[in-house]
Structure 1
Amino acid sequence: MTFTDFIAIDWSGQAVERPAGLAVAHVGTGTGAPRLIDRRWSRADIAEWLGELADTGTRALIGLDLSPAFPFDDEGAYFPGWEASPPDAPALWALVDQLSADDPHLAASSFVAHPHARRHFRQRGDCGDLFPAGRGRFRVCEHGQEAMRLSPYSCFNLVGASQVGKSSLTGMRVLHRLRGRIGMWPFDPLPATGPVLVEIYTSLAARLAGMRKGISKIRDAATLDAMLAAFGSDAHAPLPRYDDHATDAMLSAAWLRSAAASPALWRPSRLTPALARTEGWTFGVP
């Protein structure tokens, strides 16, 4: 797989038009440092921009820091007991978008309030009766993340600063809009031209850059440059401010550039055709 551009998007599920947590970083081939594309993004802006990359045929590897699907393999369904439970990820994206159609800013509050869906989620003040005891359900690749000594959260958990469920749900609405314009690995076969979307986990990039367990956030220029150097990147141009979202996106873009040419990462040992249709996979998890 060869690409000319590498883009990492730190996502946000905040139910506002322009979430502060949305950050986009870009880097080209070579050793140049990633740069932050600062546009006060909305989710709709990002969907439109990614569509434009597809229209121009830009050969970009685009990492989205979100989970594109819920666990399926463990129960044989996303939502056991619900007749509307979708059979695969594209159908899941369509369902989330349909039930959230009246939510502004591509939020997904209506989906998790649906009487059948809400039973599976842990929300603030409302833990569904089908949310299992403990940390909740996990995808196969999330067990792989744990094996890498990372700390994934269940997509069905919508509580806490580290929850990923809200980001995942809003991301599914964007993926539904991009369906047929940009393929997402591994749900779609890798195209010979044009852009490709993959799921990323920004803490994975930080860990591979040498950041020790228990610390996963970069909040200063020197640390960011040290982490970028681990992926063969030059030092970055100073930022007006350093926050987790900006530095996560920049480091992940540099990592994507270094990782894209690794054949093993495109052929994870535990990724089956069934998982490729239903749960997907985090790029970088073996």
Structure 2
Amino acid sequence: MAIAPDRFSHFAAIDWSGAVGARQPGIAVAICTHGAEAPTLVAAEGGWSRAAALDWLASAMPPDTLVGLDLGPSLPFVDRGAFFPGWSDSPADARGLWRLVEAICADDPHLGASSFVDHDAIAPHLRRHGGRKGVFFEGRGRLRVTEEAQGLQGLNPTSALNLVGAAQVGKSSLTGMRVLHRLAGRLPVWPFDPLPASGSAIVEIYTTIAARAAGIRKGLSKMRDAESLDRALAALGSAPHRPLARYDDHATDAILTAAWLRTTAHRADFWAPPALTPYIAQTEGWTFGVS
């Protein structure tokens, strides 16, 4: 799958958050264009919220932007042939899952997903706070095929069915699904949608992949100062960044990953990984950059 170097005009990365509340300090948005200029942070009045991020994606993001969302757009399916084995209402594909999350969480404010987590038929498959481990949750939790592939690349993926601990990604994934559902028909999400010949597109990102590509060793992927960020950016061919008012994992991850997307968006192998079948594309999706 050949991708022209000028297929996209901008490259953006969004560090996501599943935290409860009207605003999410854990959301950070960075964007860059072609060339060597470092990505810059995009500000939102009053701070980012999931609704504000949705609005930016739908109407304010520049045309022809490749945007990476740091969240899991689906749940494990392939290993058991279902998201929630044994439940008659378990969706048949990822878009059905997005619709289900939206329907169950329709009354949850701020695009939250608490109602989904506590649903009687779904909770038994999850590991929740307070020692509430569902009867169907085993070991570290089920993984998607792309997450198994991440492990083979030396990464440390976490099951989206695990909602406990600092490394958990389940809440981000579920709240992100509400956003993806609302973007249906307006913004394609690869690989659930094919990459169109023009226009913007969303991909799933894992910021640690960008950190590894920038030469940051395992266990040291977090950058919390200007010097660390500039060293990583330089490894990706980027100029130094504009100084930030505050350095945290969210901002630096978004900046570095936007720069990484700029260097990798044209790579045909990233758009056609050998293990990505049509079945996986429609049920579990795939992380951009995992081969």
Question: TM-score, normalised to structure 1's length?
Answer: 0.97
Q: Distance in 2 between matches of 1:179 and 1:120?
A: 27
Q: Which amino acid aligns with 2:49?
A: S
Cα deviation, residue 262, structure 1: 0.7
1:128 maps to 2:134: yes
Which 4+ residue blocks in structure 1 deviate beyond 6 angstroms?
none
Cα deviation, residue 208, structure 1: 1.2
Per the alignment, in what secondary structure is the counterpart of residue 231 of structure 2? helix
Task: Work out which of the residue numbers 41, 45, 48 in structure 2 matches 1:41.
Answer: 48
The equivalent residue for 2:249 is: 244
Q: Distance in 2 between matches of 1:262 and 1:241?
A: 33
The equivalent residue for 1:225 is: 230
Deviations 1:148-182 (A, max 9, x none): 11111000000001100000000000000001100
The equivalent residue for 1:140 is: 145
Per the alignment, in what secondary structure is the counterpart of residue 142 of structure 1? helix
Task: Work out which of the residue numbers 199, 219, 223 in structure 2 matches 1:214.
Answer: 219
Cα deviation, residue 120, structure 1: 0.5
Per the alignment, in what secondary structure is the counterpart of residue 159 of structure 2? coil
Structure 2: gaps spanning 5 or more residues? none
The equivalent residue for 1:100 is: 105
Q: Which amino acid aligns with 2:85?
A: P
The equivalent residue for 1:181 is: 186
Q: Distance in 2 between matches of 1:97 and 1:83?
A: 18
Deviations 1:106-144 (A, max 9, x none): 000000111001011000121111111x10100010011
Task: Work out which of the residue numbers 193, 205, 220 in structure 1 matches 2:210.
Answer: 205
Cα deviation, residue 214, structure 1: 1.2
Cα deviation, residue 216, structure 1: 1.2
Per the alignment, in what secondary structure is the counterpart of residue 69 of structure 2? strand
Deviations 1:36-72 (A, max 9, x none): 1122111011111111157x7x000000000000000
RMSD: 0.9
Whether the 8 Å contact between 1:11 and 1:21 is mirrored in structure 2 is yes
Aligned residues: 283
Structure 1: gaps spanning 5 or more residues? none
Which is further off, 36-45 or 240-249?
Answer: 36-45
What is the identity percentage for the equivalent residue pairs of Structure 1 and Structure 2? 58
Whether the 8 Å contact between 1:53 and 1:195 is mirrored in structure 2 is no
Q: Distance in 2 between matches of 1:88 and 1:237?
A: 42
